[in-house]
């Protein structure tokens, strides 16, 4: 049976039960115990004769009343159940459309706020997020396919040259093939890291952002020196809870971007850590060309490289640096702010939740 039919039978059953109890109360307390005069069914005139009441008169009348209550309960219950379940029908139709791949439809249930309205609003919100995530994944997959197609095509071309042109310098071709394959591997590892950060499936521990900043600066100092960039680390000790490996990758991507996207010579990169109330702050500021404000929202999208698309050295990147940073920050319940500097360059501010009081070094969050 459908829910509407079950509700109809329930309404009618309760109505019949209430009617039977009411008739029983009339029988027990008014008619039988007190002997109230009751008209005979065979008479059309009002005849009051004490003691004339009996089952012969009452039972047919009660049967007629119960039959009326049954018909009224079934009809009224069917209409009432349909009216009550109408919002659920709209939600069911929207669910079927979503199951068939149409995510643009929304319920937008009108009326006052009740359980059905809350369910419909929650379903609409879920569809909004689902549509956004699917569009983002489709765009990401298309970009990833485009990015991977280039190194794979170059590798195929180089292999064809090596096979067909035996007189050419094999060492140079092999070196170029090595560079192209390295880039493809870096891109694949970046995609896997981005997927891991998006899932949020990683162990959590106490992480000192100041130590992360120092380790990052030590690792990237040779790159900064080759580009004649001054790299400074300042601030205080501040801790958060998360994955040390992911947070280190986050800081490395930020500082590497700050070095690569800097002035040709004489630029600076400053890494600063501090505590603010219940958050731990990591700031990376660099000099460089001016960044248009309209470009800021796109910098955290996959395969966006800002104003430079350099691919000439080993630190050219694969266009996932800030996208990975954004995913890692989001997986750690933090915030990421990108602010263009008036004189050129970018100020990146990351705020992560501080260590809860009483946490142990090996605790989990």
281-305 pLDDT per residue, tens: 999 999 999 989 888 888 887 766 5
Counting Cβ atoms within 10 Å, is residue 119 exposed (0-12), middle (13-18) or buried (19+)?
A: middle
Domain spans of the chain? 3-102, 136-199, 205-353
The reported pLDDT for the residue numbered 309 is 41
Q: What share of the chain is helix, strand, coil (3-state, %, to 5)?
A: 55, 15, 30
The rounded percent of the chain whose pLDDT value lies above 90 is 21
pLDDT recorded at residue 264: 84
Beta strands 335-340 and 346-353 are: antiparallel
Contact 280, 238 (CB under 8 A): yes
Q: Is pLDDT at 246 greater than 50 in this prediction?
A: yes
- Residue 313 clears pLDDT 70, i.e. is over it: no
> For the residues 265-291, what does the mean pLDDT come to?
93
Segment 151-180 shows an average pLDDT of 78
Give the dihedral sign, CA 259/263/267/270.
Answer: negative
Give the angle subtended at the CA of 142 by the CAs of 154 and 302, to the nearest 5°. Answer: 90
State the DSSP code for 104. Answer: S
pLDDT digits (tens, 9 = 90+) for 4-60: 677 777 777 777 777 777 777 666 665 555 555 544 444 333 333 444 444 545 566
Question: Does the pLDDT of residue 152 top 90, yes or no?
Answer: no
Supply the mean pLDDT for the chain: 77
Between strands 335-340 and 230-235, the pairing is: unpaired
Structure tokens at 60: 């047919």
pTM for the model stands at: 0.57
In percent, the amount of the chain with pLDDT more than 70 equals 76
b (16+ CB within 10 A) / e for 282-305: bbbbbbbeebeeeeeeebbbbbbb
Whether domain 205-353 has CATH 3.30.70.260:
no
Residue 319, pLDDT score: 64
So what's the pLDDT on residue 184?
79
């Amino acid at each position: 049976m459908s829910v509407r039919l079950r509700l109809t039978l329930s309404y009618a059953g309760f109505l019949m039960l209430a009617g039977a109890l009411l008739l029983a109360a009339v029988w027990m307390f008014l008619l039988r115990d007190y002997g109230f005069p009751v008209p005979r069914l065979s008479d059309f005139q009002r005849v009051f004769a004490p003691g004339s009441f009996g089952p012969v008169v009452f039972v047919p009348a009660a049967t007629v009343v119960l039959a009326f209550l049954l018909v009224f309960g079934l009809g009224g219950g069917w209409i009432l159940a349909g009216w009550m379940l109408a919002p659920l029908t709209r939600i069911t139709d929207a669910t079927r459309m979503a199951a068939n791949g149409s995510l643009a439809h929304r319920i937008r249930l009108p009326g006052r706020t009740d359980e059905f309205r809350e369910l419909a609003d929650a379903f609409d919100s879920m569809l909004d997020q689902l549509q956004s995530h699917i569009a983002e994944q489709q765009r990401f997959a298309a970009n990833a396919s485009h990015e991977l197609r280039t190194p794979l095509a170059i590798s195929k071309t180089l292999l064809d040259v090596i096979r067909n042109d035996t007189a050419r310098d094999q060492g140079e071709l092999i070196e170029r093939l090595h560079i192209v394959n390295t880039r493809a591997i870096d891109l694949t590892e970046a995609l896997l890291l981005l997927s891991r950060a998006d899932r949020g499936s990683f162990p959590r521990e106490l992480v000192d952002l100041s130590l992360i900043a120092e380790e990052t600066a030590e690792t990237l100092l040779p790159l900064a020196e080759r580009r004649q960039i001054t790299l400074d680390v300042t601030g205080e000790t501040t801790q958060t809870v998360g994955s040390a490996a992911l947070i280190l990758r986050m800081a490395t991507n930020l500082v590497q971007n700050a070095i690569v996207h800097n002035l040709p010579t004489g630029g600076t990169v400053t890494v600063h850590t501090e505590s603010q109330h219940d958050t731990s702050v990591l700031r990376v500021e660099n000099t460089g060309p001016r960044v248009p404000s309209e470009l800021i929202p796109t910098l955290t999208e996959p395969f966006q490289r800002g104003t430079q698309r350099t691919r000439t050295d080993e630190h050219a990147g694969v266009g996932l640096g800030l996208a990975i940073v954004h995913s890692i920050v989001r997986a750690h319940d933090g915030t990421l702010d990108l602010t263009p500097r008036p004189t050129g360059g970018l100020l990146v501010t990351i705020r992560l939740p501080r260590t809860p009081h009483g946490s142990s070094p090996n605790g989990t969050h």
